[in-house]
Structure 1
Amino acid sequence: MDDPRPACLVRAEHDDPRVVGAVRRYVAELDARFPGGFAVVEADLVDPGGHYLLALDDERVLGVGGVRALPGTDGAPSAEVKRMWVDPAARGTGLGRLLLAALEELAVDLGHRRVLLDTNLVLGEAVALYERAGYDRVERYNDNPYAQAFFAKDLTGQAGTWPKRPLWKSW
């Protein structure tokens, strides 16, 4: 691939075949990378209540990520970043950082003021991305058996600071 940057970031429904296909690629990668594998039942592949973004180069999916409402443990309207994945051919281009920023922007647009996420420590590049993006480590907030690290970022005060056109519409 000559230029792995996406031509566009677009919103997509949870049942969009491109979302489902990209999440399946994400799950396959986790299954290969995790020492004990990674298993997910089809019903849990994507969240029907989630809001998804796709990173596209023409019709090729280079990345996916979703946000879903999460009951705030401290009363703050919170979202959780789920199923964020970037095609290996597009890694190192800044796409992960762009996709994460767009997911944060989407969370704010949906009325959330805090975003949480979890990851496995095998995914060192993901941990580094979250730390560079200003996420703080927090205590476990869910029962995900694969999660080993938990992060949160306060988005209060960021509403209205995003570009007038959302990142997923400006490419």
Structure 2
Amino acid sequence: MPYDGVSRFRRFARAVTMEVGALDTSFLGRGRPLGAARVLNAIGMGRTDVAEIRDYLGLDSGLMSRMLRSLEEEGLVRTRSHPDDARRRVAILTKAGQREFQAYEELSNARAAALLDRSPRSDELLDAMDMVASALGRDRIAIEEADPRNDAARYCLGEYYSELGRRFEKGFDVSRSRDPDAAELVRPRGAFLLAMSDGLPIGCVGLKGSGGEVAEIKRLWICPAARGFGIAKRLMHAVESVARALSVKTLRLDTNSALPEALKLYRTSGWVEIDRFNEDPYPDHFFEKHL
């Protein structure tokens, strides 16, 4: 029997199909298949535009209509015309639908916790899951502007600082770094961008501005499991677009030799190495780009 890449992938796909109950006619014992449960979940998680839900789940219009009709007949969902566009439809959960959504959430959380509890290497398993999710969902990763003080942003920054602490020879102490104030990372001075994968943050970058024509790129970070999929380039393109919209003419950034992938990105995307422009003790390479 072959043990090549295709065979291993197919074994993985069969295992996931069994674990998530994709073939069950009553997903998690709630009386409906996985597809209908996913539609209910998408609405419960805040997606109300029917076309958006269909695209998010990769469903054709006929199947989406049948699933919505089934959920409506159960009294779990109501659909109506969009208030701003009669050609579009929106879906909302009824009170019964909200209770069913919550029941699915509790069962799904318990199932995930049980799988992790019985795994002898749960951290490694989660890392592998993160990599698979990033690979399969790479075309659906969204770049969003966010408050640098919100939970998702703080998570990314915390992971970024921890990684620098591991990779820098003498560690990293954010109190010694020229860490930008949050006010410098929000409009009209700057911005903070997140890369979001199905609701979870997997990357970030900041634009530190003063209201003038020169600004700095700060805190570019990508989750290790999501590296290699072009997310850093997307974040850099997005933050440059924001800088142009804020009338920034020149961008600067600094980095460290311990981050060779960052150096490669900047050197191959139009950045020019310049002399030191700050007194931060950590960077040893400095770049500039004219917009």
TM normalised by structure 1 equals 0.82
Which residue number in structure 2 is paired with residue 31 of structure 1? 165
Q: Which amino acid aligns with 1:11?
A: E
> Structure 2 CA distance, aligned partners of 1:15 and 1:79?
20
Larger radius of gyration: 2
> Structure 2 CA distance, aligned partners of 1:44 and 1:142?
9
The answer to whether residue 242 in structure 2 is matched with residue 102 in structure 1 is: no
Q: Which amino acid aligns with 1:64?
A: C
> Structure 2 CA distance, aligned partners of 1:99 and 1:87?
13
How far 1:7 sits from its partner (Å)? Answer: 2.2
Which residue number in structure 1 is paired with residue 199 of structure 2? 59
SS of the equivalent of 1:67 reads: strand
Which residue number in structure 2 is paired with residue 158 of structure 1? none
Q: Is the 8 A contact 2:192 2:205 kept in 1?
A: yes
Q: Is the 8 A contact 2:180 2:208 kept in 1?
A: no
Segments ≥4 residues shifted beyond 6 Å:
none
Of structures 1 and 2, the one scoring higher in RCO (CA 8 A, sep 6+) is 1
Query: In structure 1, which of residues 39, 56, 68 is the aligned counterpart of residue 208 of structure 2?
Result: 68
> Structure 1 CA distance, aligned partners of 2:264 and 2:181?
25
Q: Is the 8 A contact 1:24 1:45 kept in 2?
A: no
Query: In structure 2, which of residues 278, 281, 286 is the aligned counterpart of residue 142 of structure 1?
Result: 278
Task: Give the superposed CA RMSD.
Answer: 2.0
More helix by share: 2
Q: Is the 8 A contact 1:67 1:81 kept in 2?
A: yes
> Structure 2 CA distance, aligned partners of 1:20 and 1:46?
13
Q: Which amino acid aligns with 1:35?
A: E
> Structure 2 CA distance, aligned partners of 1:59 and 1:148?
35
How far 1:79 sits from its partner (Å)? Answer: 1.1
Matches within 5 A, 1:145-156: 145-155=281-291
TM normalised by structure 2 equals 0.49
State the number of aligned residues. Answer: 151
Gaps of 5+ in 2: 1-130, 186-190
Matches within 5 A, 1:57-136: 57-69=197-209, 77-136=213-272
More strand by share: 1
- Is the alpha carbon distance of 1:143 and 1:71 closer, same or farther for their aligned partners in structure 2, counting shifts above 3 Å? farther
Q: Which amino acid aligns with 2:196?
A: L
> Structure 2 CA distance, aligned partners of 1:3 and 1:115?
33
Which residue number in structure 1 is paired with residue 35 of structure 2? none
